[in-house]
């Protein structure tokens, strides 16, 4: 068969009923690489201790995982001490203080554009709960009317600002020049609004929910990420260090399994989840937390191709803000940032691409 010319193969294909199959086999063998055999990673029962970094503003998923699932998967998981934002959790991984970090995908992308990080995204954790709250008495009941508003954020680097900047850009509003962003501590927002010093605040639950439901109503909700197509998209994503992904793929997979189990449990048992959250953090009782959870989309924890699709969508949105170049292929970039830790090759290793724009 090796000595057959292309012409003789074509003649043979025309004269023999099975010729097309023979030609196909030759072409396949000569031109296509041998397919990589992949398999699902399963927990091995080994006890592991891991350090993660998690935003202080919403630790419900971590609280549930620690209370109900980490032990089941033989994981002892602790958090880096101190208050954390999405930006600082990523820094904890980049600088070796933690093997994994939870942060909004928008924040991950904004950090990746500054330079490579020795980490990859492995799982979505929960949907977003961004809310743009406008002070009662301020004119404007649509996003089109935000030009000229003074909008408070609790941190200029928070994903709250990036998310609503994307929404403004879609409306033809320049989020950098058309509105005035004001940085305030959470404890200053209510006072500033009542004094008329700000017109709105961009925030996320649970803080945004508390401001929206003050006993003396101060804000109304102009826009959010809990409705429409954003409702089914993940916001927080877990990134794991490349060192962990290479040295212990089973640990990475087991951690993702435990967190996804916690995510599914919250969706199925929001009342019990509300009780755990009320115990872990003061300020809201179980009834208030349950009402908030019923207004959010629960159980959003994509991995693999599903995660890559959503990351690609976020890359497209960062292009709208000029934070990712238009020349970058969004889908290719997402493939470079994400790793499916539930799926290994025949040697048991994970496929870890070089992170960065493609």
* One domain for residues 239 and 109: yes
* One domain for residues 272 and 325: yes
Instruction: Calculate the alpha carbon distances from 317 to 14, 126, 170 in Å.
Output: 52, 19, 9
Owning domain of residue 236: 39-128+232-344
Q: Please indicate, yes or no, if residue 70 is contained in any of the structural domains.
A: yes
Which sign, positive or negative, has the C-alpha torsion 350, 354, 356, 357? negative
pLDDT grade for 357, boundaries at 50, 70 and 90: low
* One domain for residues 196 and 241: no
Residues 253 and 350 sit within 8 Å (Cβ to Cβ) = no
User: Mind listing the pLDDT tens digit for each residue in 269-294?
Assistant: 999 999 999 987 767 899 999 999 99
Domain boundary at 204, 224, 244, which?
Answer: 224
Q: Is the predicted pLDDT of residue 5 greater than 90, yes or no?
A: no
Domain boundary at 224, 249, 276, which?
Answer: 224
pLDDT grade for 358, boundaries at 50, 70 and 90: low
> Of 279, 336, 275, 292, whose CA–CA distance to 126 is shortest?
292
Q: Please indicate, yes or no, if residue 11 is contained in any of the structural domains.
A: no
Q: What is the pTM of this model?
A: 0.87
User: Mind listing the pLDDT tens digit for each residue in 126-174?
Assistant: 999 999 999 999 987 789 899 999 999 998 778 999 999 999 999 999 9
User: Mind listing the pLDDT tens digit for each residue in 47-91?
Assistant: 999 999 999 988 999 999 999 999 999 999 999 999 999 999 999
Q: Rounded to an integer, what distance in angstroms lies between the CA atom of residue 330 and that of residue 134? A: 33
| Total domains, the chain | 2
Q: Rounded to an integer, what distance in angstroms lies between the CA atom of residue 202 and that of residue 193? A: 12
Q: Please indicate, yes or no, if residue 351 is contained in any of the structural domains.
A: no
């Amino acid at each position: 068969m090796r000595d057959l010319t292309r012409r003789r193969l074509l003649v043979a294909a025309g004269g023999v009923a099975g010729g097309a199959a023979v030609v196909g086999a030759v072409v396949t063998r000569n031109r296509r690489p041998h397919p990589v055999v992949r398999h699902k990673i399963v927990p091995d029962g080994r006890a592991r201790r891991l350090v993660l970094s998690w935003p202080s503003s919403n630790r419900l998923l971590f609280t549930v995982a620690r209370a109900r699932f980490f032990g089941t998967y033989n994981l002892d998981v602790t958090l880096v001490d101190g208050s954390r934002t999405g930006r600082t959790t990523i820094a904890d991984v980049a600088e070796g203080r933690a093997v994994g970090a939870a942060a909004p995908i928008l924040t991950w992308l904004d950090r990746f554009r500054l330079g490579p990080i020795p980490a990859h995204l492995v799982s979505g954790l929960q949907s977003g709960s961004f809310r743009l709250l406008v002070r009662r008495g301020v004119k404007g009941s649509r996003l089109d009317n935000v030009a000229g508003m003074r909008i408070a954020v609790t941190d200029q680097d928070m994903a709250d600002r990036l998310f609503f900047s994307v929404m403004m850009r879609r409306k033809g509003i320049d989020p950098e020049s058309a509105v005035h962003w004001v940085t305030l501590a959470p404890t200053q927002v209510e006072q500033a609004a009542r004094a008329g010093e700000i017109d709105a605040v961009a925030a996320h639950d649970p803080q945004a929910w508390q401001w929206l439901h003050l006993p003396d109503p101060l804000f109304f909700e102009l826009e959010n990420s809990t409705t429409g197509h954003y409702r089914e998209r993940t916001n927080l994503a877990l990134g794991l260090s490349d060192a962990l992904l290479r040295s212990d793929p089973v640990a990475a997979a087991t951690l993702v399994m435990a967190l996804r189990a916690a995510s599914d449990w919250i969706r199925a048992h929001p009342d019990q989840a509300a009780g755990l959250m009320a115990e872990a953090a003061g300020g809201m009782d179980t009834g208030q937390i349950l009402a908030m959870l019923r207004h959010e989309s629960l159980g959003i924890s994509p991995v693999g191709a599903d995660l890559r699709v959503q990351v690609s969508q976020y890359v497209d949105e960062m292009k709208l803000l000029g934070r990712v170049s238009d020349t970058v292929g969004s889908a290719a970039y997402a493939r470079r940032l994400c790793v499916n830790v539930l799926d290994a090759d025949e040697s048991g290793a994970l496929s870890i691409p070089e992170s960065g724009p493609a």
